[in-house]
Chain A
Amino acid sequence: MTSSNFVSVSIQNLVKTYGNFQALRGVSLDIRAGEFVSILGPSGSGKTTMLQIIGGFARPTSGRVFFGNNDVTLLPPQKRDIGVVFQSYALFPHLSVAENIAFPLRARNISGAECKALVEKALDTVELGGYGERAISKLSGGQRQRVALARAIVFQPRLILMDEPLSALDKNLRETMQMELRNLHARLGATIVYVTHDQREALTMSDRVAVMSNGRIVQIDEPRTLYSSPVDHFVASFVGESTLVPVKRLGARQVALGDVVLNTASDVAQAQDIFIAIQSETLLPCSAAETEADSNYIQGTVRDLVFQGESLKASLELAGGTEIGFRIPSHRYNHLTLPQPGETVRLKLHVEDTIVVPANREVG
């Protein structure tokens, strides 16, 4: 893919209503050319509606969509030049691999040697060289995924849209494909909009992640920022593996969790209800005597300890009866000093990892 057609995408004030139900309540989003943006949200958050509108499969009730400087809001899908990859892959089972990939080329009246060369090149790009004559039914899940991808990029689209394309694959393959998609994105310089409910997938691949809830984008940020500075209760609970516990504001950078005073690295919101979002991997067991300036300390009783392979998941009951979860990597060093259920342990939490968020923003 020598020359690239990839464009920026601008979404302005999209509203979509179905009867009384508001699927989108005014969504705006600007995506740079060549940027990989994930739209992350639970089902019913509006992310699929958003993809449908960007793809041209549905029309917004109001609002506009621009590809580059072109207003494409009312353009049908066939005039948008977008490569779409669905969760089900939606390969055409009555056509061979090569015929599937040639489909968008035929639609553009490219045939013969040129078509063949482009198909070969696309197959090579997704590392499926030599698979052209295979029947779709003879391919594995991962191979189907690659064919769908090849078909979506072969005609040099302006944008690639993906709707949970990896969710049908098993875990290992999914992680391999995530890395491959990342590489492919870098190689093609493609503008990619990726819809998913898997926060880890979104964090792994994206330049930026837009978190959706109730038909709105709640936060859009780079993965690290999203993780370290969630804007509210919803984002904090959806990203990472965290326990949210109500806290009281004591000062600009100080809150109280029950009797325990915790310091934060950034200013605490002046909101009515605030919560501490404790990511399970940020807590570290420590000795009773330790006191570092950068650390907050929490003490509690271990309730459960479950072995989950690469780590152990534990729950800790605090003085007030609140339970929080934490993880211990399951290597030998830890196994020797593993806390037992019923034991009292002291955990430290870095000030930078002490994240306090306000309750969800008012949804009107």
Chain B
Amino acid sequence: MTSWIRSLLWIVTALILAFMILPIVIVVIMSFSDSRFLTFPPPGFSLRWYEAYFGNRDWMDATWTSIMLAAITTVVTVPIGTAAAYAANVSQSKFIRRLQLLLLTPVMVPVIILAAGIYMVYAQIGLVATKTGLVFAYAMMNVPYVFIAVLAGLRSFDMNQEDVARSLGVNRFTAFMKVTLPQIRPSVITGALFAFIGALDETVVSLFIAGGENQTLPRRMFMSLRNEIDPTIASISSVLVTASFALVILAGLRGRKTNAG
């Protein structure tokens, strides 16, 4: 009876995992195709679409723009999200607790609405297709992820430690930097990763407000999908997936090291 349920669980789990991984596997396989079109299975294998990606100036420009914007977004988002999580964790005020909900709205509002709204505001104040505008938009959309990750870390942190640190002679900010932050670092890194990957990946809002010299990679990919379906997209996706995986694994390893130390 139990073994029967166990094997059923194994099968269900395997199916779910397969469902999640298969699209990625198919894209990666297609990226090594030698065909002119996105077909599966590919008739033969080659690296020509990787050459098409890395050898193309437009693609490279878009890539660097995206990486740079994602990096700046992360730098802006992490302190804001962390500070918000800290406030939500220590505050006893009902008002602050309600504010949390406001902070999470970017996740709850449909992206397309968000994009249209941002576009309308930006069009008025001249932020469309600017780096500043893009960073603001990405930061707004990714603060919730940092907030949730850091809040989870803080919930299991003994705030008495900060009180003790203060009584031992440091102010609240130093207490946070020296005592709290080192211990919630894994949560902060997770939040930062979400923010970075989220910004790197962002398509819908970018469709509305990116452009010109601030063309982001996902936007350019989308445009190119519309014009011609060629496997460059698959090779770019594979590169992005690999990079994201590498980041997540690196963060995981770091997290384990801090725990052991």
Listed in ascending order, the chain A residues whose CB lies under 8 Å from chain B are 18, 55-57, 76-78, 80-84, 86, 88, 90-94, 103-104, 107-108, 151, 155, 161
Q: Which residues of A contact B204 (CB under 8 A)?
A: none
Q: Is the CB of A77 within 8 A of B183?
A: no
- Chain A CB within 10 Å, residue with most, of B163, B164, B258: B164
Nearest A residue to B170 via CB reads: A107
Q: Which residues of B contact A93 (CB under 8 A)?
A: 183
Q: Which residues of B contact A78 (CB under 8 A)?
A: 166-171
Q: Which of B158, B172, B174, B258 contacts A90 (CB 8 A)?
A: B158
Q: Which of A55, A88, A104, A161 contacts B169 (CB 8 A)?
A: A104
Q: Which residues of B contact A55 (CB under 8 A)?
A: 163, 167
Q: Which residues of A contact B171 (CB under 8 A)?
A: 76, 78
Q: Is the CB of A86 within 8 A of B170?
A: no
Q: Which residues of A contact B158 (CB under 8 A)?
A: 88, 90
Q: Is the CB of B163 within 8 A of A108?
A: no
A76-B166 contact in complex given A90-B161, A94-B182, A94-B183, C-beta closer than 8 Å: yes
Question: Interface code B165-186, partner A: CB below 8 Å = 1, 0 otherwise?
Answer: 1111111101000110011000
> Is chain B's binding surface mostly helix, strand, loop or mixed?
helix
Tell yes or no: B56 within 8 A of A by CB. Answer: no
Q: Is the CB of B168 within 8 A of A56?
A: no
Nearest A residue to B175 via CB reads: A78
Q: Is the CB of B160 within 8 A of A88?
A: yes
* Beyond A18-B92, A56-B167, 8 extra complex contacts between A and B, CB < 8 Å: A57-B167, A76-B171, A78-B167, A84-B163, A88-B158, A88-B160, A91-B161, A94-B261
Q: Is the CB of B169 within 8 A of A155?
A: yes
Assembled-state Cα–Cα distance A104/B178 (Å)? 12
A108 to chain B, nearest CB (A): 6
Nearest A residue to B182 via CB reads: A94
Q: Which of A86, A103, A107, A151 contacts B163 (CB 8 A)?
A: A86
Assembled-state Cα–Cα distance A76/B168 (Å)? 11
Q: Which of B166, B178, B179 contacts A77 (CB 8 A)?
A: B166
A80-B167 contact in complex given A86-B160, A88-B158, C-beta closer than 8 Å: yes
Q: Which residues of A contact B163 (CB under 8 A)?
A: 55, 57, 77, 84, 86, 90
What is the count of residue pairs linking A and B with beta-carbon distances less than 8 angstroms? 64
A104-B160 contact in complex given A93-B183, A94-B182, A94-B183, C-beta closer than 8 Å: no
Q: Which of B164, B170, B172 contacts A84 (CB 8 A)?
A: B164
A83-B167 contact in complex given A90-B160, A94-B183, C-beta closer than 8 Å: yes
Assembled-state Cα–Cα distance A264/B163 (Å)? 49
Listed in ascending order, the chain B residues whose CB lies under 8 Å from chain A are 92, 158, 160-161, 163-172, 174, 178-179, 182-183, 258, 261
Q: Is the CB of B183 within 8 A of A104?
A: no
B49 to chain A, nearest CB (A): 47
Q: Which residues of B contact A83 (CB under 8 A)?
A: 167-168
B166 to chain A, nearest CB (A): 4
Q: Which residues of A contact B183 (CB under 8 A)?
A: 92-94
A87 to chain B, nearest CB (A): 8
B67 to chain A, nearest CB (A): 32
Q: Is the CB of B165 within 8 A of A92?
A: yes
Assembled-state Cα–Cα distance A95/B161 (Å)? 12
Q: Is the CB of B170 within 8 A of A92?
A: no
A90 to chain B, nearest CB (A): 4
Q: Is the CB of A92 within 8 A of B179?
A: yes
Assembled-state Cα–Cα distance A108/B170 (Å)? 9
Nearest A residue to B258 via CB reads: A94
Q: Is the CB of B168 within 8 A of A104?
A: yes
Assembled-state Cα–Cα distance A57/B159 (Å)? 12
Q: Which residues of A contact B166 (CB under 8 A)?
A: 56-57, 76-78
B217 to chain A, nearest CB (A): 38
- Chain A CB within 10 Å, residue with most, of B160, B165, B169: B169
A107-B169 contact in complex given A92-B179, A94-B182, A94-B183, C-beta closer than 8 Å: yes
Assembled-state Cα–Cα distance A127/B163 (Å)? 26
Q: Which residues of B contact A161 (CB under 8 A)?
A: 167
Q: Which residues of B contact A80 (CB under 8 A)?
A: 167
Q: Is the CB of A82 within 8 A of B182?
A: no
Q: Which residues of B contact A92 (CB under 8 A)?
A: 161, 165, 179, 183
Q: Which residues of A contact B178 (CB under 8 A)?
A: 103
Q: Is the CB of B168 within 8 A of A151?
A: yes
Assembled-state Cα–Cα distance A84/B161 (Å)? 10
A76 to chain B, nearest CB (A): 7
Q: Which residues of B contact A77 (CB under 8 A)?
A: 163, 166-167
Nearest B residue to A135 via CB reads: B261
Q: Is the CB of A82 within 8 A of B167?
A: yes
B211 to chain A, nearest CB (A): 46
Nearest A residue to B164 via CB reads: A90
- Chain A CB within 10 Å, residue with most, of B92, B167, B174: B167
A133 to chain B, nearest CB (A): 13
B149 to chain A, nearest CB (A): 19
Assembled-state Cα–Cα distance A84/B165 (Å)? 9
Assembled-state Cα–Cα distance A18/B182 (Å)? 32
Nearest A residue to B181 via CB reads: A94
